[in-house]
Structure 1
Amino acid sequence: MKEPKPQGDPAAPEHRGPRPVRFIEPPGRDAALESLLAAVAPAVGDVPALLTLAREAGRAWPQPGHGGTAELWELLASVTAVDVATGRIFEPHLDALAILAQSGRDPGSIEGAWGVFAAEGPGAKLEAKAGDGGILLSGSKPWCSLAPLLDHAVITAYTETGGRAAFVVDLHHPGVTCEEPAWIARGLQEIPSGTVHFNQVPAGQLGGEDWYFNRPGFAWGGMGVAACWLGGAVAVARDYADALRGAADRGREPDQIALAGLGETDRILTSTLQYLARTAALIDDGGLAGGDQPASGGDRHGVADRPDTDRSAWSEALRVRGTVAAAVERVLSLVSRNRGPGPLAFDEPYAKRMADLALYVRQHHAQRDDAQLGALSLKGERLW
């Protein structure tokens, strides 16, 4: 006869609070991270409160490339494991702080909630032109998440020479108009991403033309987004493991198919976590200090041949993002298939997590990124 689980058993799902997602051992900032997660959990769905917590985290957590990249990625993965939309709130603010610091700004002088708006879309173009009072932005920018709730943004715009540069803009300026998007998605409902229109809005330039894309931090930030995706997948896997334990407590032991699904999920997530930990260490050691992102932000051409052991930050970002996206897609498929329709229909946190993560990971450019990586690999930028 199966013995009942003791009351207060720490393995029982109902007695667990938010848990960090660890990339490194021993853990780096577990006490601080657990305290943050305890504040995040009751604030889920309250975007202004989460923005306040993101601002507080930005003052305390390390920036990429300064010895604490893995700890930063643990933060991003852990808040996303609590709630995927929360990770989508934290990540751009922390990325904006890193961009500003890389441009020479003092992080301690940066106030307010920030976004990063660098997407392009058909029918929308933002232009920067020099005027008597400095640089002015006019035009439209698509996919500006949470713009009405933010104070400032790092935003890319086309310059008068046809290139692109990054600028700092005050989103409270009267020349800024935020569209109310027709956001019909079931995922990331707290994070509507609409078009923002600019009419002669003053802006301060960060770096020179194409600096934004060529700095190594561009690749590092892209890997930070992948850390968020991975944190969401860890949460989905935890949902699955908790469901199997709960069923076993009720007398229904998992069969081989259920255990095989959990085993495959385990090795996918473990290997991917370890990969990101090694990549974070490589960044901090200076091994991924070259940017090598195309000036246009699109496909790279004319890459010089490299020794087989050399890797640019951009090629590694393509590997990391592609590997994590594939891991997330597989975990979503395994867990959804094994758990069936019931939890998707009646378990609100699980159904929300699945919808949020499925939409979030679609930011990955899939085969287009693989094509870029294939071109780099063909020119010798590979380890094999």
Structure 2
Amino acid sequence: MDRTVPRPVRFGPDTAADAGLAALLGDIASAVGDVPALLGIARAAGTDAPQPGQGSTAGLWEFLASVAAVDVAAARIFEPHFDALAILAQSGKDTGHVAGVWGVFAAEGPGTRLEAKAGDAGILLDGSKPWCSLAPLLDRAVITAHAEGGGRAAFAVDLRHPGVTCEEPAWVARGLREIPSGTVHFRQVPAEPVGGENWYFSRPGFAWGGMGVAACWLGGAVGAARDYKDSLAAGAEAGRDPDQIALAALGETDRILTAALRYLARVAALIDGEAGAGAGDMPDAGRSAWSEALRVRGTVAAAVERVLSLVTRNRGPAPLAFDEPYAKRMADLALYVRQHHGMRDDAQLGKLTLKEEYPW
């Protein structure tokens, strides 16, 4: 097998190979580190990308995982653009004529507040929004702001408007170095409503998007596992057969990733079945989309943490110091998976479990 050719990540052995995806992954691999080029690829790919809940959720997540397996930072470009298109479609907008590259900015932070107020000129945004990844390079974004009714609402915003100012972020992270996230300031910026007040967080698609991010984390772990397997194979070819410890680590990595991939496949099928039924809950055991999202994100985050530990402990310091693609992957993934809120998310899930939202 040619280890230099990017391979798609598959959730199961019955998934057919996609020559178009393989070619696209090759283009992404050639553009690693070139953010404008990756943005252009994402824009083109988004025109016919599958959307969650429309019958091809597994295909979407496999695509995101495949991109992350090539380069985690590339997945941080593709995922929000695809998510923005899905959000617009879920709100009833026709995405066939959506232009440019989009982001999704919904984070909140101390000392920042973005408000939406209606006036004679329509809805205008005023204030600041933190954690706006790549904002200076994007065309538009779906952005949440505090509405006059006391809740939060989503809006489509032109990031090229003169009232938008992007701070130069003090991004010192070694991971995701080409994807800095800074604060953006808005002064009387026109905004188009996307859904109503509180719609953004209450729709099933919010949970689906969170699971799409988990698919990216898992794809990054698959890339790390492939690095490890290939290093053992290269050593064996050079006459250095792996010992029992190295093989045990590879075996544990295999079962962890296989279990997580199969889990995502099952949840994707449930989402598509539920969306087809037209309701807001998962079809089995009365589970909500958000409780399933917490399970998926927590399960995948734990799998990623364990794979990172197994791979780095067994490969040692040399590739972290001298193998740039490997070192980049590990730093990018370690930072990206920190988007999971750990025990706080488990506490949320515990509350839902007490409300009888569990499959066991």
Q: TM-score range by the shorter chain?
A: over 0.9
Unaligned runs of 5+ in 1: 1-9, 293-305
**What secondary structure does 1:233 align onto?**
helix
1:30-179 matches, within 5 Å, as 30-179=18-167
Deviation at 1:364, TM superposition (A): 0.4
For the residues of structure 2 that align with 1:142 and 1:107, how far apart are their CA atoms? Answer: 26
Which residue of 344, 347, 358 maps to 2:323? 347
1:254-273 matches, within 5 Å, as 254-273=242-261
For the residues of structure 1 that align with 2:16 and 2:150, how far apart are their CA atoms? Answer: 44
Aligned length in residues: 359
Name 2:309's counterpart in structure 1.
333
% same residue: 75
1:14-33 matches, within 5 Å, as 16-28=4-16, 30-33=18-21
The answer as to 2:262 corresponding to 1:286 is no
For the residues of structure 1 that align with 2:283 and 2:174, how far apart are their CA atoms? Answer: 46
The answer as to 2:192 corresponding to 1:216 is no
**What secondary structure does 2:92 align onto?**
coil
Decide whether aligned partners of structure 1 residues 29 and 109 sit closer, same or farther in structure 2, where only a CA change above 3 A counts: farther
What one-letter code is carried by the residue in structure 1 that aligns with 2:170? A
RMSD over equivalenced CA pairs, Å: 1.5
What one-letter code is carried by the residue in structure 2 that aligns with 1:84? V
What one-letter code is carried by the residue in structure 2 that aligns with 1:43? A
Q: Which runs of 4+ in 1 moved over 6 A?
A: none
For the residues of structure 1 that align with 2:247 and 2:45, how far apart are their CA atoms? Answer: 38
**What secondary structure does 2:111 align onto?**
coil
1:295-314 matches, within 5 Å, as 309-314=285-290
For the residues of structure 1 that align with 2:261 and 2:153, how far apart are their CA atoms? Answer: 33
Deviation at 1:26, TM superposition (A): 3.0
Name 1:317's counterpart in structure 2.
293
Question: Given that residues 52 and 60 in structure 2 are in contact (C-alpha distance below 8 angstroms), is that contact kept between their aligned partners in structure 1?
Answer: yes
TM-score by length of 1: 0.91
What one-letter code is carried by the residue in structure 2 that aligns with 1:380? E
Deviation at 1:27, TM superposition (A): 2.4
Question: Given that residues 18 and 41 in structure 1 are in contact (C-alpha distance below 8 angstroms), is that contact kept between their aligned partners in structure 2?
Answer: yes
What one-letter code is carried by the residue in structure 2 that aligns with 1:138? D
Deviation at 1:29, TM superposition (A): 6.0
1:136-158: per-residue Cα shift (whole Å, max 9, x none)? 00000000000000000000000
TM-score by length of 2: 0.97
Question: Given that residues 119 and 142 in structure 1 are in contact (C-alpha distance below 8 angstroms), is that contact kept between their aligned partners in structure 2?
Answer: yes
Decide whether aligned partners of structure 1 residues 29 and 215 sit closer, same or farther in structure 2, where only a CA change above 3 A counts: farther
Name 1:373's counterpart in structure 2.
349
Name 1:362's counterpart in structure 2.
338
Which residue of 182, 187, 199 maps to 1:199? 187
**What secondary structure does 2:358 align onto?**
coil
Question: Given that residues 217 and 291 in structure 1 are in contact (C-alpha distance below 8 angstroms), is that contact kept between their aligned partners in structure 2?
Answer: no
For the residues of structure 1 that align with 2:16 and 2:285, how far apart are their CA atoms? Answer: 29
Unaligned runs of 5+ in 2: none
Question: Given that residues 321 and 327 in structure 2 are in contact (C-alpha distance below 8 angstroms), is that contact kept between their aligned partners in structure 1?
Answer: yes
Decide whether aligned partners of structure 1 residues 313 and 289 sit closer, same or farther in structure 2, where only a CA change above 3 A counts: farther
Deviation at 1:28, TM superposition (A): 4.7
Question: Given that residues 138 and 198 in structure 1 are in contact (C-alpha distance below 8 angstroms), is that contact kept between their aligned partners in structure 2?
Answer: yes
Deviation at 1:24, TM superposition (A): 3.9
